[in-house]
Amino acid sequence: MSFMNQDRDWIYEEMEGPQKTTMGGSIASRITASILLLSVGFASGSIYSAFHQKDMTKSLVTEMGSKTSESSILTTASTNSAIVNTLTNHSISSIVNNCADAVVEITIETTSSYYSYQYTAEGNGSGVIISQDGYILTNNHVIEDANKITVRLRNGKEYEAKLIGKDSKTDTAVIKIEEKGLKYAILGNSSNLQVGDLAVVIGNPLGKLGGTVTSGIISALEREITIEGKKMNLIQTDAGVNPGNSGGGLFNSNGELVGIVTAKSSGIDVENLGFAIPVNDIKSVVDDLVERGYASNRAFLGVGLKDTTYSMGNNRDPFGGYYGDLFSMFYNQMQYGASVSSVIEGSPADKGGIKEGDIIVSVDGNVVSTASEVTAAIANCEVGDEIEIGIIRENKTKTIHVKLAEYKGE
C-alpha cells in the first residue's frame, strides 16, 4: 500500500501546479494525467501483487519444507494451489525415490488337509527391508502357517526367505533373504507424529501391484482397534490401504519408517481407513526376533489349532457321524471351536493333559469360537498365569488347568 499512496501524492502535486491557458492544453493535460494515473496505478498493483505472491510463496516454501527455489516456483506456478501441488508432489516423489527399494512383495504357500485330500493355497503381502544384509520386517498374519515364503524385490529379483521369528501379540514377524548391499528403511520416531502430518504408504495391494504408492495424512494416533481378538493401539491414516498392503511401510515426510501397515476397515460405506503399527511399539520386539528368534516374555500354551465345528446333539441321531452333523446343522445345533491338531511335548498343554483332537471352547471362562480367538486369549495372558481351558472331548465337556510358560520359539 505504501507504494501506491506515494505514487498518488506525486500525481496530485503535478496536477495542482501551473495550468495551461488554452482549452486544448487543459484537456490534453487532464488526459495525460489520467493516463499517467492509470499507468502508475496498474504498475503499483503489479508491484504489490508480485511482492504479495512472493511473500505467500516464501511462506509456503517454509511451511512445506521444500528445497525448491522461490524463483522456480514463481516461474512455473500460476496459482497458490499449483504451488502447493508442486511442493507436495516433489516431497512425495523424493520419499518414493529414497524408500521404494526397501519395500518388498511377499508370497506364501500353505498346505491344508480336507479329509484325505491335501491342497496348497497362496497368500500375499508386503514387507520392509530393515538391514543391508536381508532382514525384512512384516506382519505375523502375512507369513503365519507358511510352508514357503518368497520375496520379490522392486528390481524383480526373487528369493526364498527364512522365518527368523514371529510374535502374534504385536502381529510382527521378521524373515531373511540371503543378499548383501540392499537398500533398507531408516526407522523414525513414531512418537513425534502429529495428526495432519504427511503419510506415504508403499506396498503390494491385491498381491499383484507391488511398489504401489498412496499418500494422505496421519488421521489419528493411538487408535485402539481390536484385530482377531487382540487390542492394539495403531496409527490411523487416510492413505489408500488394500488387502496385500499388510506388512508394508508407512513413511513420514522425512522418508523414515514410522509404521507397519497391518489392517484396513472394510464395508460398503467405509473408505480411507487404514491402520499401522507404530515402530516405537515394536522396536524391542524386532530386536528380540532377530537376536533370539522369539519375543521374550510371551505366554505359551503349546498347541497347534484349526477352526472346526461340532455338535453336542449327535447322540440323538441314530445315524451319527457325517449324517449326525447334517442333522445338527438342520436343527441349528452346530457350534464352533478350535480343534487341537498337535500338542508340543513338554509344553503347558501337554503337562495339563490337553490331547490332539480336543476342541477348545473357552479360555479362563471366556467363550472362544476360532483358533485365532484362542491365540489372542493366550497372548493377553502373562507368563506364569494359571488358567482354565474348557474343552470338548468325546462329546463331553471338560476343564483343563494349565500354567503358562514363556515362549522360546519353535
User: Which residue numbers are catalytic?
Assistant: 141, 171, 246
271 CB-near residues (< 8 Å, 6+ apart) = none
- H or E, element range at 329: helix 321-330
Q: Are strands 230-237 and 158-167 parallel, antiparallel or unpaired?
A: unpaired
- Among candidate residues 137, 144, 78, 177, the one with its CA nearest the CA of residue 277: 137
| Cβ atoms of residues 263 and 235 within 8 Å | no
How far is Cα 148 from Cα 145, in angstroms, rounded to an integer? Answer: 9
Q: Which amino acid is at 264?
A: K
Cell 490332539 belongs to residue: 356
Q: Which amino acid is at 354?
A: I
Sequence-ordered alpha helix ranges (H) in 128-272: 140-143
47 CB-near residues (< 8 Å, 6+ apart) = 3
E strands, 153-282, are 158-167, 172-176, 198-203, 212-227, 230-237, 249-251, 257-264, 274-278
Task: Please work out, in degrees rounded to the nearest 5, the angle formed at the alpha carbon of residue 239 by the alpha carbons of 238 and 245.
Answer: 120
Q: State the CB neighbour count (10 A cutoff) for residue 70.
A: 12
* Chain centroid to CA 283: 16
How far is Cα 318 from Cα 120, in angstroms, rounded to an integer? Answer: 36
Coil, helix or strand at residue 182: coil
DSSP 33-49: HHHHHHHHHHHHHHHHH
165 CB-near residues (< 8 Å, 6+ apart) = 173, 174, 288, 289, 290, 292, 293, 294, 295, 409
How far is Cα 349 from Cα 343, in angstroms, rounded to an integer? Answer: 7
Task: Please work out, in degrees rounded to the nearest 5, the angle formed at the alpha carbon of residue 311 by the alpha carbons of 307 and 317.
Answer: 145
